[in-house]
Amino acid sequence: MGHVVIDVMLKPEILDPQGQAVNGALPRLGFEQFTDVRQGKRFVLTVDGEVTDEVLAAAREAADKLLSNPVIEDVVSVRASDGETTDPGQ
C-alpha cells in the first residue's frame, strides 16, 4: 500500500479561531515562548500499490476540488509518504 499525505492550512489572512483557542491555552501550561498558533488539516490517502505520478496528480486534483476551499485555504503540500507516520495501526 502507498500513502499520499496532503496538508491544508487556512490562508494567512483568514481568522483562525481554533488556533487562537490553542494559543490561549499554551501559556497556561507554561509554554510562554509561542506567540501564535495556526491549526491546519492533514489528509492521508491510501492506494493499492505504489504512489505513482498519476496517483499524485489525482491527489492534487482531489485536494483542489474537495479537500480544500480555495477561498479560505491553501494546499501547502501533497507528497508520497514512506508510511511510517501514516499507518492507522500505530
| Binding-site ranges for another protein (CB under 8 A) | 10, 13-15, 17-18, 20-21, 66-67, 69, 71-72
3-state percent breakdown (helix, strand, coil) of the chain, nearest 5: 30, 30, 40
* Beta carbons of 43 and 37 less than 8 angstroms apart: no
Residue 17 vs 30, nearer CB to another protein? 17
Sequence-distant (6+) residues with CB within 8 A of 30 are none
CB of 53 to another protein, least distance (A): 26
Residue 13 vs 82, nearer CB to another protein? 13
CB of 60 to another protein, least distance (A): 17
